[in-house]
Amino acid sequence: MGGRLEVTIFKGVIGLHIWAIVVGLLALAWAGKYWWVVFIVMGALYIVATASQSYFTAASVERKRLSRYEQLREKYGSASVAQRIVDREIWVGQSFEQVCESFGEPHAIDSTAGKGRPERVTWLYDSIGRWGYETRITAEHGLVVSWKTKQR
């Protein structure tokens, strides 16, 4: 129900923008020598409408973030793991699924296997130029063992 109310309010804010313009144009036609007063009122209405729109958009983003946190907490059974994923942290022992929850699917995957050693998989994120990647996350047995992040 809160989402429906928010959409209605948001549509009302957009409607306020339109009404400010329509009323302003009508008032300009009617005002004659006091056109500058109409401009000031139109500007004030536009500022209020824009500020309201920003407020409702920011509140919506925060609500989605909290909802995602709750979903992750329930999925992994840990508030600290959920918070680390939401904060886009990387840690030793993190699973591939958790990395994907945090960063999305990797842009590329590099895999190497050595004699007597387990397969090492490197997940590459955030392409830099043609061949480079900003973040390289290395895993063995599906769990993070190390990572490297280049600073831009």
Whether this model's pTM surpasses 0.75: no
In whole angstroms, what is the distance from residue 123 CA to residue 7 CA? 39
Which among 146, 99, 82, 95 is positioned nearest to 120, based on CA atoms?
Answer: 146
pLDDT value of position 81:
93
The residue extents of the domains of the chain are 2-79, 88-149
In whole angstroms, what is the distance from residue 122 CA to residue 136 CA? 6
Instruction: Give the E-state strand segments of the chain in sequence order.
Output: 108-112, 120-128, 132-140, 143-149
Topology adopted by domain 88-149: Beta-lactamase Inhibitory Protein; Chain:B, domain 1 (3.30.1450)
pLDDT value of position 10:
45
**Which own/partner contact pairs does 34-42 have at CB distance under 8 Å and 24+ positions apart?**
none
Q: Are strands 120-128 and 143-149 parallel, antiparallel or unpaired?
A: unpaired
Beta bridge partners of 136: 124, 148
Query: Burial level of 6, CB count in 10 A (0-12/13-18/19+)?
Result: middle
Show the low-confidence residues of the chain (pLDDT under 50): 1-11
